[in-house]
């Protein structure tokens, strides 16, 4: 069935909105249009923007990914289509401009983060509000690697797997098409519930309309295609909202010039232990578990864990430098740790304090002067 749902036609259902003022806020007819030959859903926005859903949007630089994502974020916070009341956590920079000047800050119910552990702190902080929580991450490719075994990539995968238990909505934007996130055939480890893509050119969009026999005449720039988990196709038309109208003189804007914050994590937050514990907790107890775990990570405990991690890193470096042939004095100078302490740490870790102890992929010339 062909279905076009215009933003100005679909009215939010009363039972899904606690605050009547949210319903009264005007939303442009051009903010959200839905078309699908496969899906019959009068409330597609509400369906897709729900706790436990995972959205992945990819496409080339400069084709409107962040613009579309910010439109969806804005509509979510307006309670559009009866989607409920939300708090949004994001790495996108926003600012407010008025006659007094310009200030980098966030609108109500939007929280900027630059580390993964901050997100879980926010879950705890917002748990008593009764509002749902969504995480929007832009420039995802800058800190997630498809084949990467780095800790942050592993932790983000764990969050994707546990999103339903956590009860959070995930929406990530990237220049990379991550194979594990593809959802149109079985076998993917982390399939997105909604896989979004932008059209690179008018020619590509016109050809897609012809090939798929799409009965819509939308502007390419306003159009984003979607594969729903299982293979159904849908298209969303979304041009402007209050946050993406860059021609207005004042109000809220997102930073189009700079990239979003690169997500990091505190080494003192033991995510491996955190995820292991979460695996044995029901969804009803997940928020209580997060609260208990984060509260146990006192500043003293964080410093202790970080110190252990630092010692581990120094041990690995010291053992390699000794194996390469550096003198004890040179290693002490390079790492600013007494050579006797370094030797004790290295031997405690199971290595011997000697040249050639660790097999290295390269050969090194002697670093000592010949006499």
CATH number at residue 168: 3.40.50
* Tally of domains within the chain: 2
Domain boundary (296, 314, 339) is at: 296
**Structure tokens belonging to residue 309:** 């991690």
Domain of 127, in residue numbers = 3-296
Phi, then psi, of 167 in degrees rounded to 5: 70, 30
Q: Can you tell me the distance from the alpha carbon of 38 to that of 80, in angstroms, rounded to the nearest whole number?
A: 23
**Domain match, 290 and 324 both:** no
Strand, helix or coil for residue 219: coil
Asked if residue 208 lies in contact with residue 217, where contact means CB atoms within 8 angstroms, the answer is no
Please report the pLDDT score of residue 169 as a whole number: 98
**What is the block-wise mean pLDDT of the chain (371 residues), using blocks of 10 residues?**
48 39 53 94 96 96 95 96 96 94 94 94 91 97 85 94 96 93 85 96 95 93 95 94 90 91 83 90 91 74 58 79 85 82 79 75 52 43
Beta-carbon-side half-sphere exposure of residue 325 (alpha carbons within 13 Å): 9
**Domain match, 314 and 284 both:** no
Q: E strands, the chain, where?
A: 3-6, 33-36, 54-58, 86-90, 94-98, 101-104, 110-112, 132-137, 168-174, 194-198, 223-228, 233-237, 251-254
Strand, helix or coil for residue 130: coil
Please report the pLDDT score of residue 8 as a whole number: 39
pTM listed for this prediction: 0.75
Please report the pLDDT score of residue 27 as a whole number: 58
**Domain match, 223 and 310 both:** no
**Domain match, 218 and 304 both:** no
**Domain match, 109 and 153 both:** yes
Please report the pLDDT score of residue 173 as a whole number: 96
Asked if residue 86 lies in contact with residue 134, where contact means CB atoms within 8 angstroms, the answer is yes
Please report the pLDDT score of residue 6 as a whole number: 54
**Domain match, 150 and 96 both:** yes
**Domain match, 316 and 188 both:** no
Q: Can you tell me the distance from the alpha carbon of 257 to that of 122, in angstroms, rounded to the nearest whole number?
A: 27
Asked if residue 88 lies in contact with residue 77, where contact means CB atoms within 8 angstroms, the answer is yes
**Domain match, 213 and 315 both:** no
**C-alpha Rg value of the chain to the nearest Å:** 25
**Domain match, 140 and 207 both:** yes
Domain boundary (296, 317, 340) is at: 296
**Domain match, 239 and 369 both:** no
**Domain match, 212 and 322 both:** no
Calculate the CA dihedral of residues 146, 152, 157, 162 and round it to 10 degrees.
-170
**Domain match, 37 and 99 both:** yes
Please report the pLDDT score of residue 184 as a whole number: 80
Domain boundary (281, 296, 311) is at: 296
């Amino acid at each position: 069935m062909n279905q076009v749902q215009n933003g100005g036609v679909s009215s939010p259902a009363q039972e899904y909105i606690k605050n009547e003022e949210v319903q009264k806020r005007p939303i442009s007819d051009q903010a959200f249009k839905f078309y699908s030959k496969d899906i019959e859903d009068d409330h597609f926005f509400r369906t897709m923007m729900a706790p436990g859903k995972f959205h992945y949007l990819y496409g080339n630089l400069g084709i409107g990914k962040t613009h579309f994502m910010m439109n969806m974020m804005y509509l979510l916070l307006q309670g559009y289509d009866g989607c409920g009341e939300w708090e949004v956590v994001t790495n996108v920079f926003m600012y407010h401009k008025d006659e007094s000047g310009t200030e980098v800050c966030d609108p109500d119910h939007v929280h900027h983060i630059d580390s993964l552990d901050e997100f879980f702190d926010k879950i705890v902080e917002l748990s008593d509000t009764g509002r749902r929580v969504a995480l929007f991450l832009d420039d995802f490719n800058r800190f997630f690697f498809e084949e990467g075994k780095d800790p942050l990539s592993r932790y983000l995968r764990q969050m994707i797997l546990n999103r339903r238990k956590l009860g959070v909505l995930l929406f990530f934007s990237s220049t990379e098409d991550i194979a594990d996130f593809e959802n149109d055939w079985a076998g993917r480890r982390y399939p997105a519930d909604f896989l979004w893509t932008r059209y690179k050119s008018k020619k590509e969009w016109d050809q897609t309309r012809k090939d798929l026999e799409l009965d819509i005449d939308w502007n390419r720039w306003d159009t984003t295609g979607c594969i729903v988990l299982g293979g159904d196709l849908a298209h969303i038309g979304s041009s402007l909202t209050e946050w993406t109208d860059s021609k207005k003189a004042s109000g809220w804007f997102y930073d189009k010039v700079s990239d979003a914050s690169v997500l990091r994590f505190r080494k003192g937050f033991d995510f491996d232990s955190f995820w292991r514990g979460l695996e044995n907790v029901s969804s009803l107890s997940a928020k209580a578990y997060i609260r208990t775990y984060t509260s146990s990570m006192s500043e003293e405990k964080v410093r202790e864990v970080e110190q252990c991690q630092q010692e581990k890193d120094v041990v690995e470096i010291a053992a390699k430098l000794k194996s390469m042939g550096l003198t004890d004095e040179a290693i002490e100078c390079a790492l600013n740790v007494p050579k006797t302490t370094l030797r004790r740490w290295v031997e405690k870790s199971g290595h011997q304090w000697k040249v050639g102890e660790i097999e290295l992929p390269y050969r090194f010339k002697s670093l000592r002067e010949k006499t």
